[in-house]
Amino acid sequence: MPAVIGDWLAHRAALSPDRVALIDATDGDSGVAPRITYRTWNRRVDRTAQALRALGVERGERVAVLAKNCAEYLDLFFACGKLGAILQALNWRLATAELAALLADGEPIIVVYDRGFAGVADELAQTGAAPKIWIATGPPADDSSGQGGPPGPHLAQLVAAAPDHPPPTVELEWGSPWALCYTGGTTGLPKGAILSHRSITWNAINTASGWDLGADDLAILNAPLFHTGGLNVFTAPLVHVGGASIICRGFDTDQLFSLMQAHPVTCLFGVPTMFIDVQAHPRFDAIPWEKVRVLISGGAPCPLPVFERFWARGVDFRSGYGLTEAGPNNFWLPTAELRRKPGAVGYPLMHVDARIIGPEGSPCGADEVGELRLRGPHLFAGYWRDPASSDAALDGEGWLRTGDLASADADGCVTIVGRAKDMFISGGENVYPAEIEAVLAGHAEVAEVAVVGAPHPRWGEVGVAYIVRRTVLGDPTADDGQADDEEKGGPDVADTPTLDEAAILDYARERLARYKVPKTARFVAALPRTGAGKVDKRALTLAYAELESPR
Taking only the tens place, the pLDDT of each residue in 45-95 is 999 999 999 999 999 999 999 999 999 999 999 999 999 999 999 999 888
In order, the DSSP letters of 359-424 are: TTSSBP-TT--EEEEEESTTB---BTT-HHHHHHHB-TTS-EEEEEEEEE-TT--EEEEEEGGG-E
Residue 477 has pLDDT above 70, yes or no: no
How far is Cα 74 from Cα 248, in angstroms, rounded to an integer? 12
Q: How far is CA 155 from CA 38, 121, 146, in A?
A: 20, 15, 17
Q: How far is CA 287 from CA 254, 255, 315, in A?
A: 11, 12, 12
pLDDT band at 387 (very low <50, low <70, confident <90, very high): very high
The answer to whether the beta carbons of residues 92 and 67 sit under 8 Å apart is yes
Cα angle 358, 363, 365; round to 5: 90
Q: Which domains does the chain have, with CATH numbers?
A: 8-14+37-197 (3.40.50.12780), 423-548 (3.30.300.30)
First to last CA, the chain: 73
112 dihedral zone (left: phi>0; alpha: psi -120 to 50; beta): beta
The answer to whether the beta carbons of residues 446 and 468 sit under 8 Å apart is yes
For residue 458, the model assigns a pLDDT of: 84
How far is Cα 492 from Cα 471, in angstroms, rounded to an integer? 5
pLDDT band at 131 (very low <50, low <70, confident <90, very high): confident
How does the average pLDDT of the chain come out, rounded?
89
Strand 331-332 and strand 347-348: the pairing is antiparallel
The answer to whether the beta carbons of residues 52 and 79 sit under 8 Å apart is yes
φ, ψ dihedrals at 464, nearest 5° = -125, 125
Of residues 106, 68, 69, the one with CA closest to residue 85: 106
For residue 533, the model assigns a pLDDT of: 66
The answer to whether the beta carbons of residues 378 and 240 sit under 8 Å apart is no
Q: How far is CA 87 from CA 108, 195, 226, 288, in A?
A: 9, 10, 10, 36
pLDDT band at 186 (very low <50, low <70, confident <90, very high): very low
How far is Cα 296 from Cα 292, in angstroms, rounded to an integer? 10
Residue 470 has pLDDT above 90, yes or no: no
With a pLDDT cut of 70, the percent of the chain lying above it is 91
Q: What count of other Cβ atoms lies within 10 Å of the Cβ of residue 85?
A: 29
Residue 534 has pLDDT above 90, yes or no: no
Residue 163 has pLDDT above 90, yes or no: yes
For residue 95, the model assigns a pLDDT of: 84
Residues 98-107: tens digit of each pLDDT: 899 999 999 9
- Per the model's pLDDT, the better-predicted residue between 300 and 230 turns out to be 230
How far is Cα 226 from Cα 113, in angstroms, rounded to an integer? 13
Q: What is the pTM of this model?
A: 0.87
DSSP 239: H
Residue 148 has pLDDT above 90, yes or no: no
Residues 332-382: tens digit of each pLDDT: 999 999 999 988 999 999 999 999 999 888 999 999 999 999 999 999 999
User: What number is the average pLDDT over the span 219-237?
Assistant: 96
Residue 204 has pLDDT above 80, yes or no: yes
